Structure 1
Amino acid sequence: MMEYKITYKPSAQKELSLLPKHEYFAIKSAIEALKDNPYPSGCKKTHGKFESCYRIRQGDYRVIYFVIKNEISIRIIKIGHRRDIYR
């Protein structure tokens, strides 16, 4: 199986850099794991504003991403605390 390439929307890259250090490493690790499996156990398809995207949970934080199958890549759209992520 081919490894997916991960790209970040500039705003998602900024959100990642502003996270507390312990959360940063946990979320970065979860994102890197998407390279091998873009649909890990616990991921869910999102609705509404982020239609056709997926989300993974890491503690109280969420990562919303879009899988581009024909390019074999994953685009990280948004990273944030669960209380703010869907607003």
Structure 2
Amino acid sequence: MTFSINWHPKTQDFLRKSPKHIAIRISKKVRSIKDKPFHFLEHYEGENVYKLRIGDYRALIDVDFTEKVLFVLHLEHRKKVYK
């Protein structure tokens, strides 16, 4: 059950502005979950999206079950994402 990954333009901007080692870590982690996404994703309280923990960073991901697509909607440091 392999999913494809689509990145929101704001998440791509976040990766470009982040230090290189953080951007690489985030992109590797997101790409690594496409075979078994629900082993790693947790439901995000109060929203219809899932969160992925990547060290001190969080990715908010929308899942399209019919098309098998993971939409990376938001990337942020964990201190900011929960506010």
TM-score higher than 0.5:
yes
Following the alignment from structure 1 to structure 2, what is the Cα–Cα distance between the partners of residues 64 and 57? 9
Structure 2: give runs of 5+ residues left out of the alignment. none
* Runs ≥4 residues deviating over 6 A: none
Partner in structure 2 of residue 25 of structure 1: 24
RMSD: 1.3
The residue aligned with 1:72 is 68
Name the counterpart of 1:45. 43
Q: CA contact under 8 A between 1:38 and 1:67: conserved in structure 2?
A: no
- The alignment's TM-score, normalised by the length of structure 2, stands at 0.88
Count of residue pairs the alignment pairs up: 83
Q: How far apart, in 1, do the equivalents of 2:53 and 2:18 lie?
A: 15
Question: Aligned residues: percent identity?
Answer: 30
How far residue 39 of structure 1 moved from its aligned partner, in angstroms, is 1.3
Cα deviation 1:52-87 (Å, max 9, x = unaligned): 211111111111101100011000010110111233
* Amino acid paired to 1:79: L
1-structure distance, mates of 2:5, 2:19: 22
- Cα drift, residue 40 of structure 1: 2.5
With structure 1 as the length reference, what TM-score do the two structures score?
A: 0.85
